[in-house]
């Protein structure tokens, strides 16, 4: 979920494609939420310190257990282990603040977002839970740890942002057209490369391949409209959102970049390319 933007930033986003619905359950109280977040993050931290995710795996929801193994979890979070990431003191010294307020999402999962702040250290998190037999069990975790005293990277110029968008979307489009994500994979941030494979990316974007949606002409001939001013988020990622003013088709995007060795590398992509009238 190692970053070179800031030496002390660690981030991992673990996304689960969950399509089942959980049994309706009331939101936990404030005390229960604190206990949930403390226990989940300390369990995760313990797994990182031991480089052994067996116990952490056993504490997760059966749904997640069916999708992974302790060894797979260790591989996914290897960057945390390599950098000796330890958030034990941060969690035990501070009360978490929950922002935005915990909610039940459309799939019936409890989403708990918040932060622990100790001096210059900031630990932010988003935890997802499923209610199993009356107990909340984790199905997803997203953790960011950074030292806010470190200087943030400056947002690139308008011309640099345009070049990033063009390069990223054309590389993505080439992968879709060829059905081969090997070259696209090589262009990603190392952090994302550690979490995926070219084969997995192809599976994730199979719908683009099946629909034969080619965005090359749009990207090359039109200037994107930036919906929100590009900025650096709390995890040190450059976030670029926009669309191409084409009708009747629709092309929108959200791109996130990590700065590695002075270069912005893609860390996340969300593209919606729909024919008019299609969902």
Judge if 99 and 173 occupy the same domain: no
* Lowest-confidence region among 45-59, 76-90, 164-178, 202-216: 76-90
CB 112, CB 102: distance < 8 Å: yes
Average of per-residue pLDDT across 140-167: 78
CA distances from 77 to 11, 14, 139 (A): 10, 10, 15
Judge if 134 and 176 occupy the same domain: no
> Percent of the chain at pLDDT above 90?
46
Judge if 16 and 120 occupy the same domain: yes
What range does the domain containing 84 cover? 10-147
**pLDDT bracket for residue 121 (50, 70, 90):** low
CB 73, CB 53: distance < 8 Å: yes
Judge if 70 and 122 occupy the same domain: yes
**pLDDT bracket for residue 42 (50, 70, 90):** very high
Query: Would the pLDDT of 184 be above 70?
Result: yes
What's the rounded Cα separation, in Å, for the pair 118 and 108? 33
- Last residue in a domain, options 147, 170, 204: 147
Judge if 209 and 242 occupy the same domain: yes
Judge if 143 and 15 occupy the same domain: yes
Average of per-residue pLDDT across 26-48: 92
Whether 167 is covered by a domain: the verdict is yes
Whether 4 is covered by a domain: the verdict is no
Q: Which residue has the tokens 């590695």?
A: 260
Whether 27 is covered by a domain: the verdict is yes
Whether 2 is covered by a domain: the verdict is no
Query: Would the pLDDT of 189 be above 80?
Result: yes
Query: Would the pLDDT of 23 be above 60?
Result: no
Average of per-residue pLDDT across 110-114: 93
- Last residue in a domain, options 106, 126, 147: 147
Judge if 181 and 222 occupy the same domain: yes
Judge if 80 and 176 occupy the same domain: no
Whether 3 is covered by a domain: the verdict is no
Judge if 137 and 265 occupy the same domain: no
- Last residue in a domain, options 147, 176, 201: 147
What's the rounded Cα separation, in Å, for the pair 44 and 32? 18
The overall average pLDDT reported for the chain is 82
Q: What is the pTM of this model?
A: 0.50
Judge if 235 and 212 occupy the same domain: yes
CATH number for the domain harbouring residue 15 = 3.10.450
CATH number for the domain harbouring residue 170 = 3.10.450.630
DSSP per-residue codes, 61-116: -HHHHTT--HHHHHHHTHHHHHTT---HHHHHHS--EESS--EE-TTS-EEEEEEE
Residues whose CB is less than 8 angstroms from the CB of residue 225 and which lie 6 or more positions away in sequence, other chains included = 242, 243, 244, 245
Residue 252 pairs in a beta bridge with 243, 272
CB 125, CB 55: distance < 8 Å: no
Judge if 174 and 122 occupy the same domain: no
Query: Would the pLDDT of 11 be above 80?
Result: no
**pLDDT bracket for residue 150 (50, 70, 90):** very low
Judge if 174 and 268 occupy the same domain: yes
N-to-C CA span, the chain:
29
Count up the domains in the chain and report the number. Answer: 2
CB 116, CB 94: distance < 8 Å: yes
């Amino acid at each position: 979920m190692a970053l070179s933007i800031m030496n002390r930033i660690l981030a991992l986003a673990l996304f689960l494609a969950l399509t089942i619905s959980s049994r309706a359950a009331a939101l936990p109280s404030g005390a229960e939420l604190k206990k949930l977040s403390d226990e989940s993050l300390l369990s995760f931290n313990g797994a990182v310190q031991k480089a052994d995710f067996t116990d952490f795996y056993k504490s997760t929801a059966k749904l997640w257990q069916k999708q992974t193994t302790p060894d797979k979890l260790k591989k996914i979070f290897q960057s945390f282990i390599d950098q000796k990431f330890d958030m034990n003191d941060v969690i035990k010294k501070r009360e978490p603040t929950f922002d935005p307020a915990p909610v039940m999402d459309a799939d019936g999962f409890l989403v708990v977002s918040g932060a622990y702040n100790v001096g210059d250290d900031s630990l932010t998190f988003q935890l997802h839970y499923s209610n199993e037999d009356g107990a909340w069990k984790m199905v997803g975790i997203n953790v960011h740890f950074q030292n806010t005293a470190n200087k943030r990277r400056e947002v690139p110029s308008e011309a640099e942002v345009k070049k990033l968008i063009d390069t990223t979307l054309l590389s993505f489009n080439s992968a879709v057209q060829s059905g081969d994500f090997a070259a696209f994979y090589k262009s990603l941030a190392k952090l994302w490369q550690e979490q995926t494979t070219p084969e997995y990316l192809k599976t994730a974007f199979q719908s683009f391949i099946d629909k034969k949606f080619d965005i090359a002409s749009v990207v090359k001939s039109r200037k994107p409209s930036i919906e929100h001013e590009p900025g650096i988020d709390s995890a040190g990622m450059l976030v670029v959102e926009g669309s191409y003013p084409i009708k009747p088709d629709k092309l929108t995007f959200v791109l996130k970049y990590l700065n590695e060795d002075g270069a912005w590398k893609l860390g996340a992509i969300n593209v919606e390319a729909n024919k008019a009238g299609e969902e």
